[in-house]
Each structure stands twice: as structure tokens, then as C-alpha cells.
């Protein structure tokens, strides 16, 4: 019995947006992408599908060399799409180790690699929301 040890690179990266957290696993493959075990092409929300596929479109033919699995939890569907997009972009940069890809992503959208620091403001006491106060009646 002979066992051949084949080694290939696997990259795990993460991305956050608001309260969503995404973890992307990137390995050599045929260009397939799954989000929460659902193929990217089958995702019901088209805008989210486009957001997630942006990093793949920017690298061109290199996308056919990798398979990506993304796990996303928390937040709304758009926030999850942004988190998945960040995780995929960071993983691709690490997988290929190319400064050129990093430069392309930075020029297209700075938040694709760095993340977006904006968070919702907490609600204050005695108010309806973070800024809105109760309406006063004068007459």
C-alpha cells in the first residue's frame, strides 16, 4: 500500500460588516463558490449575489483556479453579502500572494480589504431611537 502525500494550499479568511461575520475557505478547484452550502448562482437575492461575486470578477481568469466556501452568520442579507465579499477578497489576496490583485481591489473599493468601520448608534434612554425624541405639542 503506497500513499502519495499531495499537498495543496488552503487559505481561511474572515470578514465583518455590522453584526455579520463571514469565514471563507479557499482551495484549488474549478471556480465554484458556495455561500452557506448553497451555490452562488442559486442565491435568491440578485444584489447580494453581485456583491459577493465582485472580487471574483476583478481577478478575471484566476477565478477558475480556486473553489470558495463561505459561512456567514448574523445581520441582514446585505450585511452578510458585504462580509462574504470582504472574506473572499482577503482570502484571494492571501492565496495568490499578489500585490497586483491587492492594488486592483484597493483601487476598486478600499473597504473590500480593510472593512467598513461604521456601526449603528445605540438607542438612548427616554427616546424612540438613537436621535429621535418624543414629539412635543404646543397647542
Instruction: Say which CATH number the domain at 32 has.
Output: 3.30.230.10
Inside any domain, residue 129: no
pLDDT reported for residue 5:
62
62, 96 Cβ separation under 8 angstroms: yes
Q: Which helix (H) or strand (E) holds 58?
A: helix 46-59
- Give the predicted TM-score (pTM) of the model: 0.85
Residue 62 is part of which domain span?
A: 13-113
Tell me the pLDDT tens digit for each residue of 51-83: 999 999 999 899 999 999 999 999 999 999 999
pLDDT reported for residue 134:
85
Tell whether the model's pLDDT for residue 129 goes beyond 60: yes
Q: How many domains does the chain have?
A: 1
Tell whether the model's pLDDT for residue 46 goes beyond 70: yes
9-23, 87-101, 118-132: the lowest-pLDDT one: 118-132
CB atoms within 10 A of CB 34: 16
63, 28 Cβ separation under 8 angstroms: no
Q: How far is CA 128 from CA 18, 19, 57, 131, in A?
A: 21, 22, 43, 8
Amino acid at each position: 500500500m503506497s500513499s502519495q502525500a499531495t499537498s495543496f494550499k488552503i487559505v481561511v479568511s474572515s470578514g465583518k460588516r455590522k453584526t455579520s461575520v463571514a469565514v471563507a475557505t479557499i482551495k484549488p478547484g474549478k471556480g465554484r463558490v458556495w455561500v452557506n452550502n448553497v451555490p452562488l448562482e442559486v442565491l435568491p437575492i440578485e444584489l447580494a449575489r453581485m456583491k459577493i461575486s465582485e472580487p471574483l470578477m476583478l481577478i478575471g481568469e484566476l477565478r477558475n483556479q480556486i473553489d470558495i466556501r463561505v459561512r456567514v452568520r448574523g445581520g441582514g442579507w446585505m450585511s452578510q453579502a458585504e462580509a462574504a465579499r470582504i472574506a473572499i477578497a482577503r482570502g484571494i489576496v492571501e492565496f495568490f500572494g499578489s500585490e497586483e490583485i491587492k492594488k486592483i481591489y484597493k483601487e476598486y473599493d478600499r473597504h473590500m480589504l480593510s472593512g467598513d468601520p461604521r456601526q449603528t448608534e445605540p438607542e438612548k434612554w427616554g427616546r424612540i431611537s438613537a436621535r429621535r425624541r418624543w414629539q412635543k405639542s404646543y397647542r
